[in-house]
Structure 1
């Protein structure tokens, strides 16, 4: 089997080997995020820089494999998540030059969770994910945004703003701006600071309201109607509300 065919099978196939491989990528992404968060509170050391290089090489290999098997290579190169990968790879492989952009690595996790193959596998393997998929995705979207904007606030303000001394200060400001609380004890000055504040308020409130919408929306199960294709129904629905077709929605039994 050619290398490209083997990679395509791993990234897009429906075999146990492919499922295990994509789960391994997910675990790697989550571990990398935890590493970035943990090391942001510690002083830089040669050991951390070597770990950055190792992670960067793994990310580069994954990035190259995805690009190799892509059927729309040039279109994929222009996607924001692809550009974020490029910045993250550069920051991992040259930490002395661009370590401040390493937090963009979290964007890969958002993209990986949204790939059809992995999402479908999570639905099949985990009843909890199947039932609360929308809530999990909305929470991930909000968490990614908060983490990214916290990184931007910290890296752009720590040298000029005496009130931003660490990631906790930046996170505190991001949450306060996102919820439009506006205590006023920490503010961002200058054109760039004002622009970051506007982005946090507009985009953050949108993502937060989406999460609230999912929380308050009546609990539904994802089950396509065989007649009209309606995707969501009540957990105890017997007939489709759109066309009246009898449904046979599977469940995990009485709780």
Structure 2
């Protein structure tokens, strides 16, 4: 059993090509499940969809169990945002047949782990010059994407009739983006107190995420690397000394040609 645990830990945390392929495969699985959740959020639940949801829920639960099994600090693992998101997704997939309410919006929370899990950040920082230069913008884009589709699904569930169809989901997306950008066309509005509070939430949080994305896109490119002396964690891509304290830096790079 200890040998199996060691092999699983190497897959999730190791630096071998096999481990990196495994983690990128998991990220591909995450991306496909997010796409599936978005596409099916507005469709009526059928027998095949219920079966597929259960299968996805079990796979996600298996992955969650494996990560918890190899974790050196299980209490900390259980408090991570993407861990809580996984639990919400698993619950919405496996328990949905027992609830009358539409829990589809919870499944989009799967996107919270698209970047933050499986040491993907470490792999991308080491292997991709593009990611190192634009890490903040990429992360801000993912956060904004997840927020838009979670709130769109929530608006769809709360403001439209059940099984209203894909066109209504597009209307919910339209309302979310119009509210987030504070455009406020007024052709689709919330009339209940809860709906109005949701609109306020979309405006406040959405604008903050949008501003963060704009700032990340237009500010000078910096690489995240913590200075061992003063702790400054943003440096120019070609920095060899910390601008704050002068400490020599050893920022990992693959070279110009990636050799």
TM band (smaller chain) = 0.7 to 0.9
Q: 2:107 aligns with which of 105, 108, 118?
A: 105
C-alpha deviations, 1:90-144, integer Å up to 9, x for none? 3222443458324433433323512472211112222222221111001001111
Note the C-alpha offset of 1:22. Answer: 1.4
Assess, with a 3 A threshold, how the Cα gap between structure 1 residues 77 and 223 changes in structure 2: closer, same or farther: closer
Counterparts of 1:24 and 1:42 in 2: how far apart (Å)?
A: 27
Deviates more, 1:97-106 or 1:56-65: 97-106
Note the C-alpha offset of 1:194. Answer: 1.8
Alignment match, 2:256 = 252
Conservation of the 8 A alpha-carbon contact between 1:103 and 1:148: yes
Conservation of the 8 A alpha-carbon contact between 2:38 and 2:149: no
Counterparts of 2:230 and 2:44 in 1: how far apart (Å)?
A: 58
Aligned alpha-carbon RMSD (Å): 3.0
The residue correspondences of 1:1-255 to structure 2 (distance < 5 A) are 2=2, 3-97=4-98, 100-115=102-117, 117-159=119-161, 166-222=168-224, 230-235=232-237, 240-244=242-246, 251-252=255-256
Note the C-alpha offset of 1:245. Answer: 6.1
State the secondary structure of the residue aligned to 1:14: coil
Counterparts of 1:59 and 1:195 in 2: how far apart (Å)?
A: 32
Deviates more, 1:65-74 or 1:242-251: 242-251
State the secondary structure of the residue aligned to 1:189: coil
Conservation of the 8 A alpha-carbon contact between 1:179 and 1:201: yes
Counterparts of 2:199 and 2:23 in 1: how far apart (Å)?
A: 36
Note the C-alpha offset of 1:89. Answer: 1.3
Counterparts of 2:68 and 2:194 in 1: how far apart (Å)?
A: 34
C-alpha deviations, 1:186-217, integer Å up to 9, x for none? 11122221221121111111111111111121
Please, which runs of 5 or more residues in structure 1 have no aligned partner? none
Counterparts of 1:18 and 1:136 in 2: how far apart (Å)?
A: 23
Conservation of the 8 A alpha-carbon contact between 2:180 and 2:206: yes
Conservation of the 8 A alpha-carbon contact between 1:29 and 1:106: no
C-alpha deviations, 1:28-74, integer Å up to 9, x for none? 10000111122235443322222212211101111222232334434
Assess, with a 3 A threshold, how the Cα gap between structure 1 residues 79 and 231 changes in structure 2: closer, same or farther: closer
Number of aligned residue pairs: give it.
Answer: 251
Deviates more, 1:241-250 or 1:2-11: 241-250
State the secondary structure of the residue aligned to 2:11: helix
- Please report the TM-score for the alignment, with normalisation by the length of structure 2: 0.82
- Please report the TM-score for the alignment, with normalisation by the length of structure 1: 0.83
Assess, with a 3 A threshold, how the Cα gap between structure 1 residues 93 and 224 changes in structure 2: closer, same or farther: closer
State the secondary structure of the residue aligned to 1:85: helix
Conservation of the 8 A alpha-carbon contact between 1:26 and 1:109: no
Note the C-alpha offset of 1:222. Answer: 4.1
Counterparts of 2:240 and 2:72 in 1: how far apart (Å)?
A: 42
